Amino acid sequence: MNFAAVRAIYKFEMARTWRTIMQSVISPVISTSLYFVVFGAAIGSRIEEIDGVSYGAFIVPGLIMLSLLQQSLTNAAFGIYFPKFVGTIYEILSAPISAFEIVLGYVGAAATKSAMLGLIILATAWFFVDLRIEHPIWMLSFLVLTAITFSLFGFIIGIWADGFEKLQLVPLLIITPLAFLGGSFYSIKMLPEFWQDVSLVNPVVYLISGFRWAFYGTSDVSIGVSLAMTLVFLGASLLVIGWIFRTGWRLKS
């Protein structure tokens, strides 16, 4: 294991966060705080409790997961896209460092940044609503596991993209709608039976449901299914990345 190379990539990516702290940290926190104000206070005052949890508190796990998915994807995608864009990816590929070490450096930094942001948003939520976390270990586990999984997915997006427009395509047009329709602001049990079945096709439902269970012990699907779906997506992302490095797809052309 070339720890020096992994550490160099990791430190470089983490340093980029502090150079763009307004965009990387402050902006997502402010945006999420506005959700707390609008949905938690304005709309929450007109909605009864959901599964014994006040509406303002109920949406907190969904909002954290929404930011986590977006930031994990964006951080990892931009992290690997810029070396491709400026041509330094060839120096990385020719260096004495394995594909695993390259992925570990980039994905590790992206997952760290998004997990830190999730914890900051969680701390901010305490100022707006009364929270409880019934399963803190599970909460941290889901937070880290989701950050790693979607950072791997973002790494794939960064390799696939051949322009800045494509970097934003998946987060804005796919992930964000799936998160909104995945129970961020409501329980899918509130939907008609047909739409409940349709919602179960949405993979984000399982992420939000498992994360919410860690807070309040209530979920739309069982915790075992949520964990299994997350691990399946993690494994699929690893397989795709392994194939990319074996074939050199979008890396050497």
pLDDT in tens, 222-235: 999 999 999 999 99
Lowest-confidence region among 14-23, 79-88, 176-185, 240-249 = 14-23
Average pLDDT, the chain: 89
**pTM beyond 0.85:** yes
pLDDT at position 251, please?
Answer: 84
Q: What is the pLDDT of residues 55-83, one digit of tens each?
A: 888 999 999 999 999 999 999 999 999 99
SS3 track for the chain: CCHHHHHHHHHHHHHHHHHCHHHHHHHHHHHHHHHHHHHHHHHHHHCCCECCECHHHHCHHHHHHHHHHHHHHHHHHHHHHHHHHHCCHHHHHHCCCCHHHHHHHHHHHHHHHHHHHHHHHHHHHCCCCCCCCCCHHHHHHHHHHHHHHHHHHHHHHHHHCCCHHHHHHHHHHHHHHHHHCCCCCCCHHHCCHHHHHHHCCCHHHHHHHHHHHHHHCCCCCCHHHHHHHHHHHHHHHHHHHHHHHHHCCCCCC
pLDDT at position 165, please?
Answer: 83
What's the whole-number mean pLDDT along residues 166-185? Answer: 87
Where are the domains positioned within the chain? Answer: 3-247
pLDDT at position 168, please?
Answer: 84
